[in-house]
Amino acid sequence: MLNGAYYVRQVLWQIGDSSGDLGDAAAVYGEIVFDGNGHYSFSGQVMDPGVAATPQPSGTIIGTYTISASGYGFMDNLLITGEIIYGLVSAQGIFIGSSTENLSAQGVNDLAIMAPIPSPPATAATFNGSYTIVDFDSPTGSPQDSRDSLFTINTSGNGTLSASGSGYIAGNGGVATRQTLGSTKVVFSNGAGNIEAGGNSLATISNNGGNPDAVLISGNYYVYISPDGNFIFGGSPNGWDMFVGVRNSATAANFGGLFYQAGMDQDESELAAEGFANLDSYFGSFDAVTGGTIIGHQRLLSVFNNNPYDFTYSDAFSISSTGTDDDADTDQHYVFGLNGALRIGIGNSPLLGINVALSAPGVSGTGVWIDPQGIVNSGSFAPFTSQIVPGELISLFGSGLSQKTDSNPFFPLTLDGVQVMINGIAAPVYVVSPGFLTVMVPYETTAAIANVQVFNNNSPSNVVSMFTGATQPGILTQTENGVGYAEAQDVTTNYTLITPSSPAQAGDSIVVYLTGLGAMNPAVADGAVGPTPAASTVNTIAATIGGVTATVLFSGLTPGADGLGQVNLTVPSGLTAGANIVEIQGPDSDNFEALISIGTGTGALTTTAQAKPAVRPLMARTHPAAKRNPALPEKIKPFSKPIDRTPGVRSTGGRGAVTTSGSSSN
């Protein structure tokens, strides 16, 4: 799925202190050649202000990569030895990803994009039409100078363009900055373009003592074009920004199904009051389903939280007649291309950022076949890029998985001739059918990778590999599809189901049912019912309702039930009456998806009919002082500490130091 010559740009920002200033930043860009068998060769330029003021030749960088049948995979990082870029190959053959695991503990956030070089190479005539581009930049390394911008550009195909746009620069107090480019030259060479926006680069302006906050973009910008001409990306050769763009489309009718995503954000909401900005980067996927709902996953890293984690969420989307979507829940503005098969996003101040989402490739199989994109949490239905954990109920989609439809609440190891093996251990089976199965991940699944295989009357399926973790809470919902109201009972009112007509009140004790809580104490056998006294979680579980911290009274298995977990909470005061998000967090996961109804009793705020309150998720909201990385000093001069990198042959690793020596057809 990665084979041949690609243009690539990777930008990397390294947090240097607890205020969010960058200690270093870098960009690498040029040509990378994949051999289709797990090895690549890169040659291009590296811009690293901690090493030199101008771009330097990269030399030849040799590395390895692995891509699964779903398009999900990883490769050696181009910028840092020992780090791994995790990402996904889209239906358009474009790779997007990020180095979320920070194996070398250098506190970096990054974004990488790679697209096949068109054949014949792109020219000025190729770059023709109307495009929307989103740019994300921090030209001085200070959060005050960070900015994102959105430009509409019109090209005539004769080597010129005009552009107008607006954006937010953090230090400008939330006031939009606007900029217009008149007739601007675009020069192409070897399939890549150079947009000559005029003046010096923003980084050069800053280095010369000028004010980079007078304009959004300045200098030259390299642009790379996908083979079909619908997607563009690039950035300044003298900076460490990234832009993505789409050819404007008359409709977004094709926005639906599975998408792959990656991006970077910088939350500036505490900059004025607390003096810090919180940077994160991520990759993942989401399902855009009928009715305007997204069920999504991001593998997300903010160095202030000290560790990467899985963020699973639900979201609403509503596409305007102009092909855009303004999302109050994620503070993003989205623009669609290729009739909805491409989507780019920009953060709305004070959340700055860039997001790119591309439709996933189609997959198919014969015989006993597991869809490599079709292993999901049975409660949240979080997409397949999310990790699986011991004791979690997961659903496997595919074909030929069973010869009949059946269920067994006692979770046998074989049901109607169907057996599921995870790392060679039989998984307890709950539901079988030709198109999907529901099984329990064995508690012995502690390796970094879980290899899943189905046997239908001894006929084996393909093997699908999943990353594993400690927790992956997936709240069961009343609609049984991961969205809407949680399966939750009010203990205070004799375990009544909590619904809009029977809401919980402030101070009530409630029970939220879910799966994916991970290891238990005492240990429980695979498929066994929850014991009495109850087994509790080994990992600490936290919760909020409507963004307000809720006291967790218990987290563990439901006594007498098979495969069912529960979290007992006290409903906090100060919630808005109506629908509120119930959020469950483990040490490496954060589920921000299901709703719970809160009544108008004592402690509730004014009643408001709201589908979802616009609150930031728990881990992304955390003040750095609460979970500060001890390796970060209070304040340093930006770009004073270059990233430790060694050119030449790179070693391959991964989450949990998984190694590989080639491509996989899992």
Whether the per-residue pLDDT at 460 is higher than 70: the answer is: yes
d(CA 180, CA 20): 30
pLDDT at 175 > cutoff 60? yes
187 contact partners, CB below 8 Å, separation of at least 6: 124, 159, 193, 194, 196
pLDDT value of residue 41 = 97
DSSP notation for 303-355: GGGSS-EEEEEEEE----TTSEEEETTTTEEEEEEGGGTEEEEEEPTTEEEEE
pLDDT in tens, 486-513: 999 999 999 999 999 999 999 999 999 9
For 372-383, the pLDDT digits (tens) are: 999 999 999 999
- Report DSSP state, residue 559: B
Residue 555 has pLDDT above 90, yes or no: yes
* pLDDT grade for 44, boundaries at 50, 70 and 90: very high
Mean pLDDT, rounded, for 344-365: 94
What was the pLDDT predicted at 650?
41
Q: What token pair was written down for 278?
A: 């919180």
421 part of a folded domain: yes
Q: Which one is predicted more confidently, 629 or 334?
A: 334
pLDDT of residue 556: 97
Token readout for 385 is 């890029």
In a domain, 467, yes or no: yes
The pLDDT score that the predictor gives to residue 663 is 32
pLDDT greater than 50 at residue 662 = no
Q: What angle do CA 384, 545, 620 make, to 5 degrees?
A: 55
Which of 471, 502, 489 is CA-nearest to residue 582?
489
The pLDDT value recorded for residue 665 is 31
Structure tokens at 39: 């090895």
Determine the average pLDDT of the residues in 599-607: 66
How high is the pLDDT of residue 628? 43
pLDDT digits (tens, 9 = 90+) for 358-372: 999 999 999 999 999
pLDDT at position 248 over 50: yes
Is 609 a residue whose pLDDT tops 90?
Answer: no
Band the pLDDT of 172: cuts 50, 70, 90: confident
Quick one: average pLDDT of 403-419?
Answer: 97
Q: What is the mean pLDDT of residues 571-589?
A: 96
Per-residue pLDDT band for 546 (boundaries 50, 70, 90) equals: very high
Is residue 664 very low, low, confident or very high in pLDDT (cuts 50, 70, 90)? very low
Q: Is residue 381 part of a domain?
A: yes
Residue 66 reports pLDDT greater than 80: yes
Number of domains in the chain: 1
Q: Is residue 21 scored above 60 in pLDDT?
A: yes
Whether residue 404 lies inside any domain: the answer is yes
pLDDT score for 463: 98
Pairing of strands 496-497, 39-47: unpaired
Q: d(Cα 365, Cα 440) in Å, to the nearest integer?
A: 24
Domain that holds residue 393: 364-610
- Residue at 489 is within a domain: yes
In 3D, which of 618, 572, 566 has the Cα closest to residue 592?
A: 618
Res. 474: pLDDT tops 90: yes
pLDDT above 60 (res 298) = yes
Between residues 261 and 278, which one has the greater pLDDT?
261
**Residue 606 in this model has a pLDDT that exceeds 90:** no
pLDDT beyond 90 at 412: yes
Contacts 24+ apart (CB under 8 A), 203-207: 203/49, 203/139, 203/140, 203/236, 203/238, 203/239, 203/240, 204/238, 205/139, 206/139, 206/140, 206/145, 207/53
Which band of pLDDT confidence, cut at 50, 70 and 90, is reported for residue 204? confident
pLDDT at 305: 73
Q: What is the pLDDT of residues 276-297, one digit of tens each?
A: 889 999 999 999 987 889 999 9
Quote the pTM value: 0.93
Whether residue 323 is predicted with pLDDT greater than 90 in this model: the reply is no
Buried b (16+ CB within 10 A) or exposed e, 461-480: bbbbbbbbbbbbbbbbbbee
* 579: in domain: yes
More confident residue, 96 or 328: 96
Tell me what pLDDT residue 210 has: 84
For 218-238, what is each residue's pLDDT tens digit?
999 999 999 999 999 999 999
Q: Is residue 253 part of a domain?
A: no
Residue 636 has a pLDDT of 62
Half-sphere exposure of 53 (CA within 13 A, CB side): 7
Check pLDDT > 80 for residue 446.
Answer: yes
- Residue 575 forms part of a structural domain: yes
